[in-house]
Structure 1
Amino acid sequence: MNHRIVEISPEATIAIRHQVMWPDKPVDYVRLPNDEEGKHYGLFVDDEMVSVISLFITDKQAQFRKFATLQSYQGKGYGTLLLKEVIHVARNLSLDKLWCNARMDKAGYYAKFGMKLTDRTFLKGGIEYVIMEKAIN
């Protein structure tokens, strides 16, 4: 299958975010107050968008958020391609650090990309999160 990664509008991320991350919540739950300030990327397989991620840059660091892949496409490497693209973007922008709020049960996935656990954890919606970070340059 052919794939491509393109920058998309904030609104284009909403359906996949909602379906994958918080399907039991109202759709506004997956919107971010600063969505308009971020860079948003979608991975398309043929002509279907199957994975999204949002990148928010502040000074010399960036946080990626709302990283979601449609369930039927999970485990096929598409999320990996998208996360590698965001790491590449961060390098090209000469950022110092990339970080995320990782669901605790997904920390092992992010560790494969060189992301390190911090001691900062929190609960949201009954789910435990840990902040993970990666030095970029």
Structure 2
Amino acid sequence: MIIKSITAKETWPLRHAVMWPQMPFDFVKLPEDPDGYHFGLFIDKELVSVVSLFQTADGIAQFRKFATLANRQGKGYGAKLLSHLIEFAQKQGFRALWCNARADKIAFYKKFGMGETQEFFTKENVKFAILKKVL
């Protein structure tokens, strides 16, 4: 297993396949992608999990488009990648981290100290919660 920096373009196929396969491919591209940090977790040279990190305010960052291939979920790869991202954010000097989590994944994020803000929204009929963590 290897975790390394990748380009935004490298994240797009996995983002699309896992998160929004029913939408056009460009739906997973973000205007902020050129300004973000992008990480990939590889198993035997196969990209199996991705996440992107963006500064949203002074000392605050948001991670987005966190996705792991369906056939690789439940094996700890996402947990390893999220731990790497949190450590990276701390080293970069961010004081807080937040995300828009799919409602059915909240328990996963709570394992990493992410707390619910009681803010929710719906996008394309999927319910999301905003979670935060002080670093």
TM-score class, shorter-chain normalisation, is over 0.9
**Shift of the alpha carbon at 1:95?**
1.1
Distance 1:13 1:41 in 2: 8
- The yes-or-no answer on 1:29 pairing with 2:35 is no
Distance 2:15 2:71 in 1: 14
Q: Pairwise CA RMSD of aligned residues?
A: 0.6
Give the secondary structure class of the aligned counterpart of 1:5: strand
Q: CA deviation at 1:46?
A: 1.2
When normalised by structure 1's length, the TM-score is: 0.96
Aligned length: 134
Which residue in 2 is equivalent to 1:102? 101
Q: d(CA) in 2 for partners of 1:68 and 1:119?
A: 23
SS in structure 1 at match of 2:118: strand
Show CA shifts across 1:108-129 (max 9, x none).
Answer: 1100000000021111010111
Structure 1 residues without counterparts, runs of 5 or longer: none
1:7-57 CA distance string (max 9 Å, x none) = 000000000000000000000111101110100000000111100000001
TM-score for both structures, normalised by structure 2: 0.97
Provide the C-alpha distance between the structure 1 equivalents of 2:116 and 2:51, rounded to a whole number of angstroms: 20
Show the counterpart of 2:50.
Answer: 52
Question: 1:29 & 1:4 partners in 2: Cα distance?
Answer: 28
2:29 is the alignment partner of 1:15? no
State the Cα distance separating 1:93 from its structure 2 match: 1.2
User: Gaps spanning 5+ residues in structure 2: where?
Assistant: none
